[in-house]
Structure formats: C-alpha cells, structure tokens
Amino acid sequence: MDYGVILAVVYTWPELASVGRTEKELKASKVEYRIGEFPLSANAMAKSRLEPDGFLKVLADGRTDDILGVHILRPDAGSLIHEAVVAMAFRASAEDIGGTSHAHPTLPEALREACLAVDKRTISLSTHLEPEGFRPDPWSLRPYVGGPQIMPKAR
C-alpha cells in the first residue's frame, strides 16, 4: 500500500480534495518543485454549469516532473481527484497527463490544464493580447482569469 496516494476530501461547499504532498511539506523537505494552477473560471463546463469558482493545483517534481501532489477546491472536487490518484499511483508526470486526451467540455480536463500549466503551456488560458476586432465573452459571469476569452464582435 502506497500511503502517499491516499486521497482526502472535505465535504464542505465548495469541496476540497487533495492527494499527495502540500507546498508546505515540500518546502520543509527542501524538495525542488514546480506549480501548475488552473482556475475553473476558464473551464467551459464549469462556466456552463454556472459554477466557475475554484481551482486545481498540481505540484510536480522540479527535476523528474513526477506529480507530487494535487489539490482541488470546487464543487465535486471529491469526484475529480480520482484521476490524479491513479496517475500518482503509476508515477505519472505532469507531462503524461498533459499529453492525454480529455473530452471537451468536461470538468476533468481542468486537471490536464493544470498539468500543462506546470510548464506554462495551458490551452484555455490566453497569454496573448486580444486580437483586433474581438472582445471579451459577454456571457462570462465573472472576470476571466489569465487573459481574455475571445469571440467575434456582434454585428
């Protein structure tokens, strides 16, 4: 039994789910690590369910890219943590999950995005300026984190 991959879920609103080590533990152990974070406000399914609050955080080894911990704060976090548990049990790297196919739009694709964020390669977070002729999404209920979501101007 690998006690390092036993998950924890706090059934509050929103839920908090985690597996593996925390930043505090990694700092205390002087482990070199990288962080990938992804806000649910950039996830299409979370937005369509009118639940864009929350985020995912992936902690990956700074040398090997192995996933050391995953922390999720959002409704249904307890249901979303399982992919991370399986990945960690099989010693997956953040790149391994970032390179896998996830259905769109779904909530689990947020874990893929957080893994891609470890290397600053997210798909759904815009890091460039808004192109001319486009404007932020008017349907967004909260400000878009990480950059503008773009759509054509209404005519």
Say if residues 66 and 60 touch (Cβ distance below 8 Å): yes
Catalytic option among 82, 102, 104, 128? 104
> Is-catalytic flag, 104?
yes
Closest CA to 37 of 10, 51, 57, 52: 57
How many whole angstroms separate alpha carbon 47 and alpha carbon 41?
6
Amino acid letter at 145?
Answer: V
Residue 15's SS3 state is strand
86: how many CB neighbours lie within 10 A of its CB?
12
Catalytic residues: 104
